[in-house]
Structure 1
Amino acid sequence: MPPLATPETHALHSTAADILTHLSRSQPAGVPHRIGNWNEEAVLYHERMTEFVKKYQSGEAEVARLRRRVGGARREQILSQTHSYNAPLMLQNLSTKTVLSVDVPEQPTDTYTLTTARETMPVVRCCWTFVLCDDNGNPIEDRHEYAHAHGSSIRYGDKVCILVEGLGDEPMYLKSAQTHLSTNISKYSKQQAVCVAAGRDYTAVWQLEHFELGERPEREGTGIDARHPVLIRHCLTGQCLASDGAYVVRNDFGLEYETTCHTYRHNGTRAELPQNAWFVRTAESVPVEGLQYFRNQGSQQGGSQNGQGRQGQGHLGGSGRYAYAGGRDKIWI
């Protein structure tokens, strides 16, 4: 049998009803502590949403900062029509079929790490400028004298600085250094690390070499070919720029591959492997699906293209060095 209503119980029920009405308003008051009733979670959720909206409108929310950072790094650029110095170009790895890119962190730092990404359009984070250097790593100031003697195109054997612009107040140079115990080691593969940083010194000097070991001496001094990959060798350590699909990096731009400074070699011939091979892409480069690079194929035929049994004999690269293989990944040559 329920207890009889008294003035005291009536006042208590009225107070409880007033509290529930107050908590269910469109903009309830803050909850300084756990109140232990069924409306508590709704109140706390509303407060979190209100705080998020304020931060988002003021540009302080994490999603807004992410959008600005990614949007700034993906501003479109215009590539050079030719393999020229001091003009934007892209570098695509033969092994991973991805392009060399900068992993822009959430907070600005002195150095940015590198990845290879599936960027198909030229954007700020994956456009690189080659600057010609002398044997000591100093930029050649008199471009007219060099152009008169050698031409203006990038050539095998040249020493260069490779830089990216648009990510900071000043250009950031591609750099690497010798590993020492726990320093200058990449995060995933534990190989020699590579990064971009402001300021130019000899750690930012690289040399371009032909990918084919047998043709390297005779090709030195000739212009690079869009249909043949190049080696980008670090002058200070002798290691080559590399990207390996076995080491996946998850960042704000998606799933990408780690980039290091490490020379992959064949156990028998000691020749460099496709992880070290890079195509220099210009605005005139065209995509070719399922294209793979083979050494010493001669007149041998490649595999089928897209599973349709069509054979290729490497007409794109000459000497049978290209063959078709299945897959949707594209090489721009």
Structure 2
Amino acid sequence: MIKLHLDANAKSRLRYSIVSTQIDASSITRMAHEKTYRTNVRIGNWNEDLCLEEDAKKEYLEKKARGELAAQKVDFLKQNILRPVNLTVINDGRLHFGDVVMLVNMGGENRECSAVSINTDINSLTKIPSPGIQAPCAVSAGRGIQACARTAFIITSVDGSPEGSILHFEQSFALKTTSGFASGLYLTSDLKSFQKCAKKSRLQEVNLENSSSFLSWWKITHFDPQERLEFEGQPVPANVSVLIIHCKTNQALAVLGDHILWTTYGKEYEMTAHTFLDSHKAEQDNNHWTVCTADPSGNGLVLLNHSQSVTNKELTQANPDM
């Protein structure tokens, strides 16, 4: 073994040389993995980088021409799914098979007024054979109380009742979306399982399917348990609070204010089929729905106009000078 005897200056120079070598090695390694120049600086594989940028730009322009960009798909979806729909105007105050209606929950402590809405995104879009949405498709409780393809449902017969006949309490029916872009899908539910349940609450799932079956049968029940037997078999009035019960599982349609969904249309509430009972064994306001129709005067929904008139009346009574 050869021992080197170095003075202090020699040792310092040797240490500096070793550190510099390590720094240079690490710098070279880092620069090998980093792109320090733009493609217009012709260094390295500049020709390949330029070709890749041109290919990416060409692909972008082709997708834009075909309308396949994500932003274009979102605009196309909203233009069609939010297109206004004319709800049915009724003169006798009763619901009928074939009526186009909205299902509205008036809200509660932790949620605003909301309506049953199609919750679809660009992944559910289809253009064959015509533009529309494909099943299965989720639903949510949207806060936009406007009659459009997303919120309109048709009361459909499942027992052979002719279109235009009156719907009665406890009579089975189906709820179908409008034809065209909404594809005529049926509101469906089934017993919850480990693989099929609501995303947030893990309760019984509600979604839209493209075919009618016993899973898409519903019935309307009076919201007051003490008067339920008296109203059984009676015509169902429109624009009043009722319960919508799933025939197979006997669970009531519900909106969950404490389970928020961030959708393409904004902040909305999760929907499920689950009966929420209070201490008196009565259904809570999560299960209270109003089957809304159009105002004959053409001023939107009968329910909202009635609520606004009641509010104005209360304000007038509180302030006679108004």
Instruction: Answer whether TM exceeds 0.5 for this pair.
Output: yes
How far residue 69 of structure 1 moved from its aligned partner, in angstroms, is 1.3
Structure 2 residue runs without a partner (length 5+):
1-36, 125-133, 296-301
**One of 89, 94, 110 as aligned partner of 2:135:** 110
Partner Cα distance (1:224, 1:91) in 2: 14
Partner Cα distance (1:178, 1:94) in 2: 27
**One of 69, 91, 114 as aligned partner of 2:77:** 69
Aligned residues: 254
> What is aligned with 1:271?
282
> What is aligned with 1:255?
267
Of Structure 1 and Structure 2, which has the larger fraction of its residues in helix?
2
2:80–2:181 Cα contact (<8 Å) kept:
no
Partner Cα distance (2:54, 2:266) in 1: 31
TM-score (norm 2): 0.69
How far residue 183 of structure 1 moved from its aligned partner, in angstroms, is 2.3
How far residue 250 of structure 1 moved from its aligned partner, in angstroms, is 0.6
Partner Cα distance (2:137, 2:223) in 1: 27
> What is aligned with 1:123?
148
How far residue 52 of structure 1 moved from its aligned partner, in angstroms, is 3.9
**One of 145, 170, 187 as aligned partner of 1:157:** 170
Partner Cα distance (1:48, 1:255) in 2: 34
Matches within 5 A, 1:60-99: 60-82=68-90, 83-95=95-107, 96-99=112-115
1:234 aligns with 2:259: no
> What is aligned with 1:321?
none
One-letter amino acid of the structure 1 residue matched with residue 40 of structure 2:
L
Partner Cα distance (2:188, 2:87) in 1: 23
How far residue 67 of structure 1 moved from its aligned partner, in angstroms, is 0.9
> What is aligned with 1:166?
179
1:283 aligns with 2:259: no
Secondary structure in 2 matching 1:199: coil
> What is aligned with 1:318?
none
How far residue 76 of structure 1 moved from its aligned partner, in angstroms, is 1.2
How far residue 55 of structure 1 moved from its aligned partner, in angstroms, is 2.6
Secondary structure in 1 matching 2:72: helix
Partner Cα distance (1:310, 1:102) in 2: 40
TM-score (norm 1): 0.67
1:265–1:272 Cα contact (<8 Å) kept:
yes
2:245–2:252 Cα contact (<8 Å) kept:
yes
Partner Cα distance (1:73, 1:240) in 2: 26
1:114–1:194 Cα contact (<8 Å) kept:
yes
Q: Which moved more, 1:116-125 or 1:237-246?
A: 116-125
Matches within 5 A, 1:186-205: 186-205=198-217
Secondary structure in 1 matching 2:281: coil
Structure 1 residue runs without a partner (length 5+):
1-19, 25-29, 34-39, 135-139, 292-301, 312-333
Q: Deviation above 3 Å: which 4+ runs of structure 1?
A: 30-33, 43-54, 166-170, 288-291, 308-311
One-letter amino acid of the structure 2 residue matched with residue 280 of structure 1:
V
